[in-house]
Amino acid sequence: MKLADLGEFGLIDRIASRIPSQSGVVLGIGDDAAALLPTPGCLTLITSDMLIEGVHFDLGFTDPASLGRKSLAVNLSDLAAMGATPRQFLLGLALPAGVSLEFVDGFLDGLIEMAHRFDTVLVGGDTCASKGGISISITALGEQRPERVLKRSGAQPGDLVLVTGTVGDAAAGLRQLFAGVRQGGLVRRQLDPEPRVAAGGALADAGLVHAMIDVSDGVLADLTHICDLSGVGARIDLARLPLSEAYRALEQQDPYALALTGGEDYELLFTVAPEKEAAVTELLARVGTPFAVIGAITAGTRVEAVAPDGSPYHPTRAGFDHFG
Ligand code: ADP
Ligand code: MG
């Protein structure tokens, strides 16, 4: 059965029938707009990300459920980077009429699974036919108290630079996909990223962090975003970059290039005053999130990487830029 057999409103009904209720949702899917009840004393954080077939995903690489999970995960990662708690989201879908219902249901399975895990619900969206490929646009809403929201702009000279998890895996996974590999940890990191929602919220609630961003364009590019908005520079010690075993095994020639410039890791990159390192260690252990100190914020505006032998390192590729 194809989407064309179901029709636009059949599809919307099919989606709506699977969405649970939530205390913050006064009116969900079905009316001209959704009505939401904010948590008293909280700001609403709102973010949007598009996934375009042929640009962000390839149906030869991903299965529908992973695509559904990733579509929401990349948005949840942006909320996590602000220290926000996910609440609701909107789903924009442009689908060719020939798409199979099997694809649609698989996509919804993944999307709804991710939503359930992070306690967020779908409250509306838009659906239209596509003459080209599939386009997915999600707008996610989260909440946080105003004084706890974590911005990119608060980094101070002397701060430590930290990153959760390991970096470079998603880009290495993409390389593997292009080389014909279809499974393994690196491929999973590319197709099925895990947003650091618990860590982002806990760091914000504890008031420990000066500036935070999620790693979507690569550590170097994303640290540069923090530095630009904070009016500071930074030094990255390459020897301290957290690299997975699988990544090291694959990237033996230059283990730093992809780790610095590969995108889509969806880890959290943040700065804290050096005296807060112990508190951060304790807090991230409590939420079960590994991390590494990878450098420091400096006065000035340059972002430099230093190789293990102390020499300056210049990556051969830049971070991800859609028009670059
Ligand atoms: P309108 O014509 O007023 O924009 P629509 O027919 O586009 O309304 O949508 C009808 C209802 O279905 C709205 O509540 C809308 O939010 C919801 N909706 C449409 N597409 C989606 C989707 N892809 N996911 C979730 N809800 C959707
Ligand atoms: Mg509409």
> For residue range 128-147, what is the model confidence (pLDDT) as tens digits?
999 999 999 999 999 999 99
What number is the average pLDDT over the span 35-42? 98
Ligand 2 centre and the CA of 185: distance in Å? 39
Residue with tokens 């609403």: 44
What number is the average pLDDT over the span 116-127? 98
Q: Evaluate: CB of 199 within 6 angstroms of ligand 1.
A: no
Distance CA 129, CA 29 (A): 19
What number is the average pLDDT over the span 289-293? 98
Minimum-distance ligand 1 atom for the alpha carbon of 127: 20
- Average the pLDDT over each of 38-42, 205-209, 237-241, 313-317 and give the range with the smallest value: 313-317
pLDDT at 322 over 90: no
Closest alpha carbon to 234 in 137, 170, 306? 306
User: Looking at residue 314, what is its pLDDT?
Assistant: 86
Q: Residue 1: pLDDT band by 50, 70, 90 thresholds?
A: confident
What number is the average pLDDT over the span 16-32? 97
Ligand 2 centre and the CA of 32: distance in Å? 8
User: Looking at residue 323, what is its pLDDT?
Assistant: 66
Ligand 1 centre and the CA of 12: distance in Å? 7
Residue with tokens 């149906």: 59
Q: Evaluate: CB of 207 within 6 angstroms of ligand 1.
A: no
Closest alpha carbon to 174 in 61, 65, 256? 61
Q: Which two tokens stand for residue 113?
A: 């699974």
pLDDT at 58 over 90: yes
Smallest CA separation from ligand 1 atom 26, residue: 124
User: For residues 6 and 320, which has the higher predicted lDDT (pLDDT)?
Assistant: 6
pLDDT digit string, tens, across residues 176-185: 999 999 999 9
Smallest CA separation from ligand 1 atom 13, residue: 30
| Ligand nearest to the CA of residue 94, numbered in listed order | 1
pLDDT at 153 over 70: yes
Q: Evaluate: CB of 32 within 6 angstroms of ligand 1.
A: yes
Q: Evaluate: CB of 15 within 6 angstroms of ligand 1.
A: yes
| Ligand nearest to the CA of residue 93, numbered in listed order | 1
Ligand 1 centre and the CA of 50: distance in Å? 17
Q: How far is CA 174 from CA 165, 167, 179, 254, in A?
A: 18, 13, 9, 17
Q: Which amino acid is at 233?
A: G
Q: Evaluate: CB of 122 within 6 angstroms of ligand 1.
A: yes
Q: Evaluate: CB of 17 within 6 angstroms of ligand 1.
A: no
Residues 6+ apart with CB under 8 A from 270: 150, 161, 162, 163, 203, 209, 210, 211, 212, 213
Smallest CA separation from ligand 1 atom 27, residue: 125
pLDDT at 321 over 90: no
User: Average model confidence (pLDDT) for the chain?
Assistant: 96
**What's the angle, vertex CA 66, arms to CA 61 and CA 68, rounded to 5?**
120
pLDDT digit string, tens, across residues 64-112: 999 999 999 999 999 999 999 999 999 999 999 999 999 999 999 999 9
Q: In percent, how much of the chain has pLDDT > 70?
A: 97
**What pTM did the predictor assign?**
0.96
Smallest CA separation from ligand 1 atom 18, residue: 125
Smallest CA separation from ligand 1 atom 19, residue: 126
Q: In percent, how much of the chain has pLDDT > 90?
A: 94
Q: Evaluate: CB of 245 within 6 angstroms of ligand 1.
A: no
Q: Evaluate: CB of 28 within 6 angstroms of ligand 1.
A: no
User: Looking at residue 119, what is its pLDDT?
Assistant: 98
User: Looking at residue 272, what is its pLDDT?
Assistant: 98
Smallest CA separation from ligand 1 atom 14, residue: 30
Residue with tokens 């967020």: 120
User: Looking at residue 145, what is its pLDDT?
Assistant: 98
Q: Evaluate: CB of 125 within 6 angstroms of ligand 1.
A: yes
Minimum-distance ligand 1 atom for the alpha carbon of 28: 14
What number is the average pLDDT over the span 38-60? 97
Q: Evaluate: CB of 12 within 6 angstroms of ligand 1.
A: yes
User: Looking at residue 324, what is its pLDDT?
Assistant: 63
Q: Which residues of 148-171 are buried (b: 16+ CB within 10 A; e: fewer)?
A: bbbbbebbeeebbbbbbbbbbbbb
pLDDT at 318 over 80: no
Q: Evaluate: CB of 124 within 6 angstroms of ligand 1.
A: yes
pLDDT at 317 over 90: no
